[in-house]
Structure 1
Amino acid sequence: MHKVLLITLLLTAKFIPVAAQNNWIPEVEKEGIKIYTGVLPNSRIKAVKAQCNVKATASQVVALLMDVESAVDWVYHTKSCTLIKRVSPDEIYYYSEISLPWPLQNRDFVAHLKVSQNAVTKVVTIDGPAVKGYVAEKKGIVRIQDSKGKWIISPAGAGHVNIEYTIHVDPGGTLPPWLINMFAAEGPLRIIKNLKLQVQKPVYKNAVVDYLLD
């Protein structure tokens, strides 16, 4: 059950910006996905970085990540994911609840997603810090307050992109840091594997995001 829990909590923060971390330690390399962990100042919970090459365009990946309501189909144990506010095509707020096995309490969070692109390099960055407000905290659900992550999508030749995903999340509650760290690499590995499959679905495969240069 603990393994399931930690995979779930790491997946919940898929959109949620992580502090600079240079001392990355290789943990896993599987199916073309490389996973690293690192220690951040003033935190006993490890940060995680995933890297891989994906057969997709930047538009495909961004279209998927900004389609937050699709998370129930591919983000492990997502009970609900709801768009709260669309500020612009490249900026949104959303709420998500994560289902955990009894007797553990579900987790939830509110995130603010913002997409940007370097006009010269065409590198796309998606930041999505957890934010307060918008949705009142709910009885029996632990609100994730500290979650920082970043997606970097870089051109890698015709029809391919390199993806770098960094994440640092404190799931809150009484879970000990050693338990969280034990399975830190597994969540990002699973989410990248799912992403590689999801972007090939028809709704994303031919996606064109108007504000991006593919």
Structure 2
Amino acid sequence: MKSERQEEERRLEVRVADDRDFERLKNLCDCHDGWDLAYDQPPTRVYTRPTKNSTFHMIKVSTVYKDLDANVLYDVLHDPHYRQIWDKHMIQSVDVGYLNPNNDVSYYAISCPTPLKNRDFVLQRSWLDTGRELYVLNHSVFHHQFPPKKGFVRGLSHLTGYLIRPLPSGGCSFSYVSHCDPRGKLPPWLVNKLTHVLAPKMVKTLYKASIQYITWKPHNNPNYKPWIYPEQINLPRIAFNQCTKTQADEVDDLVDESDIDEKALAHFTQQL
């Protein structure tokens, strides 16, 4: 039997994603068995599902963008230069290196509204364009150059994924699945309430960013799309021995934010 520590380290390993990973994401997006409908304002629906060995639920969002090209949305999710413009919560993003043309490693730090502490993540991202479906997924990994640092709580992404499908009538469908542990000691009721706020807001934010990208990209390095054209990749290749757990990765998971109350929550949501 593997210990919890060994199991976590296995989940956080760097490895090239294969067809099974993308198929798993597809099944999570399309199958609603065992999920609870938490928000229903068509075409947007938000679902939650409890998970083993975690107090934080998995969340799923599905919607339709009737007038948004699937490839534009896919580019917005990828483009690191544009993310600096539309992602108002991003403090820092660093492309660390790549494993192959469809897998890379990055560092991502975000601001959290008070009274919560800021979070950061080291993520392996994988993507696939089948022509009929476009996938992006990530999970947390270790990297020696980016140990936990002062002022941030190191968050953990067990799985975060996006699935985009072009529609015959135009536009696209969009599904998002995430199982994240923000670490620290957050009250479960806070996370549950934020599900109803953050998920629908993300749908609107991505739509607005994508519409604006159509006019932004032609004036900002329009031909630069290394997620499509691998010959444009100018990152160092990741060595697997750089992505093992070290003593510096021993995270203090006891940052206590559990005293947040309803008044603080109202202030929190106003800052989003």
Report the TM-score range of the alignment, normalised by the length of the smaller protein.
0.7 to 0.9
- The aligned length equals 193
Is residue 123 of structure 1 aligned with residue 136 of structure 2?
no
Counterpart in the other structure of 1:187: 198
Counterpart in the other structure of 2:116: 104
Counterpart in the other structure of 1:6: none
Q: Report which of the two has the higher share of helix.
A: 2
Cα deviation, residue 52, structure 1: 0.9
Moved more, 124-133 or 71-80: 71-80
Q: Give 1:131's aligned amino acid.
A: V
Contact 1:75-1:191 within 8 A present in 2 as well: no
Percent identity between matched residues is: 24
Contact 1:26-1:36 within 8 A present in 2 as well: yes
- In structure 2, relative to structure 1, the CA distance for the partners of 1:68 and 1:130 (3 Å cut) is farther
Whole-Å Cα distance in 1 between the matches of residues 81 and 106 of structure 2?
9
Whole-Å Cα distance in 2 between the matches of residues 111 and 68 of structure 1?
14
* TM-score normalized with structure 1 length: 0.77
Counterpart in the other structure of 2:77: 65
- In structure 2, relative to structure 1, the CA distance for the partners of 1:184 and 1:199 (3 Å cut) is same
Cα deviation, residue 100, structure 1: 2.5
Indicate the RMSD between aligned Cα atoms, in angstroms: 2.8
Contact 1:69-1:83 within 8 A present in 2 as well: no
Whole-Å Cα distance in 1 between the matches of residues 81 and 149 of structure 2?
20
Q: Give 1:25's aligned amino acid.
A: D
Q: Give 1:125's aligned amino acid.
A: Y
Counterpart in the other structure of 1:197: 208
Q: Report which of the two has the higher share of strand.
A: 1
- In structure 2, relative to structure 1, the CA distance for the partners of 1:53 and 1:103 (3 Å cut) is closer
Q: Give 2:111's aligned amino acid.
A: S
- The one of the two structures with greater contact order (alpha-carbon pairs below 8 A, sep at least 6) is 1
Q: Give 1:71's aligned amino acid.
A: R
Whole-Å Cα distance in 1 between the matches of residues 165 and 60 of structure 2?
15
Specify which of 148, 162, 180 is matched with residue 159 of structure 2: 148
Whole-Å Cα distance in 2 between the matches of residues 103 and 51 of structure 1?
30
Cα deviation, residue 143, structure 1: 0.6
Counterpart in the other structure of 1:94: 106
Q: Which has the larger radius of gyration?
A: 2
